[in-house]
A and B are shown apart, each in its own frame.
Chain A
Amino acid sequence: MNEIKLIEIKEEILSDNDLFAQELRRKLKENKTFVVNLMSSPGAGKTTLLLQTIAVLKDKYKTGVIEADIDSMVDAEKIREAGVESVQLRTGGFCHLDSQMVRQGLEALGSDDFDLVFIENVGNLVCPAEFDTGAIKNVMILSVPEGDDKPLKYPLMFSTSDVLIINKTDMLSLSDFNMDTLYGHISRLNPKMEIFEVSAKTGRGITAWTDWLTRQMSDFLK
């Protein structure tokens, strides 16, 4: 039997996806398509928030949606009813989207014409955090019933997202969710994170979020 030899490899396991994502981001900048990657647990209100956001922005920007949540044929239907184009990605039970899948989604939409595209990522706070989708901004939604301790359980998601939307604030009085506790965790993990407190149900706080997005878009489209 031959002797065992040690071979150095020194390669990043996710480098293929990272490189592809960087290339996709470069193309998106060139085409002036602002892609927002929306991530949350199932039931945090991604679709409702998306519908509220679209209602405000769709007349101003040509908007599209890439649906990837596993069980979201229903969601895709709702989005189309809201009057914007959407494509459903067949993620086949995948726990996350990667940049190749996002590019397929953009191609299916016909990405060159779009100003703004939302990705509704698969509903979980673990896997989507590890895979760069090529999006321009990463936005996570945390809903009040999930609790103020989530940054401690999913630190990677909280540290890789640019924006945190705290949804279902209409339920604050029903829970022991402590806003100060949450802000404390975030200031340690990701102090640069933009935070919006909203209720997608009542519409509270939505304007602050859409105004922020509009400002980002104007800078981007310059």
Chain B
Amino acid sequence: MHELPITENILNIVCRHAESGSVSQVVSITLEIGELSDIEDEWMQHYFDYLSKGTVAEGAKLKINRIPIKLKCSACSTIFEIEKSMIGQSKCPKCMASGDFSIISGRQYHIKEMEAR
């Protein structure tokens, strides 16, 4: 639902890097977005196409890599990956504790790199 402001930030960051890297056209942008985010890839691209018109990033493709959710068990410090649908229902695979986990991955909103010419 908040793809628009996110996309705006991406475009600003990309244009800044394009300027300093003397780029004439951005071809693709690789993003790393945590599984916990409710961002829709399709809408991101849609908004990006709209916002980037007339900029060096016009026509660039967003490549979105989803970063898995990882929890850390407070009892035994085990770090384990879980599906979003299992969050809140999981058990620690090692000590079988059923609570007190901290989220150590899955909330990322990161721009990794871009391809440009």
Contact = CB atoms under 8 A, between A and B. Distances in A.
A130 interface: yes
A5 B88 contact: no
A127 interface: yes
Interface string A8-52: 111111101000000000000000000000000000000000000
A13 B17 CA distance: 13
Contacts of B117: 1-5
Nearest to B91: A188
B9 A14 contact: yes
A96 B2 CA distance: 8
B111 A11 contact: yes
A124 B101 contact: no
A13 B113 contact: no
A176 B1 CA distance: 30
Contacts of A14: 6, 9, 109
Interface string B26-44: 0101010000111000000
B1 A126 contact: yes
Nearest to A127: B2
Where chain B touches its partner, the secondary structure class is: mixed
Nearest to A155: B87
Best-buried of A1, A7, A12 by chain B (most CB within 10 Å): A7
Contact of A13 (B36, B101, B111): B111
B85 A10 contact: no
Given A7-B113, A9-B114, A156-B36, A188 B107 contact: no
B97 to A, nearest CB: 9
Given A9-B113, A16-B9, 7 more contacts: A2-B24, A2-B117, A4-B116, A7-B21, A94-B5, A127-B2, A188-B88
Interface of A: 1-14, 16, 94-96, 98, 124, 126-127, 130-131, 151-152, 155-156, 158-159, 184-189, 191
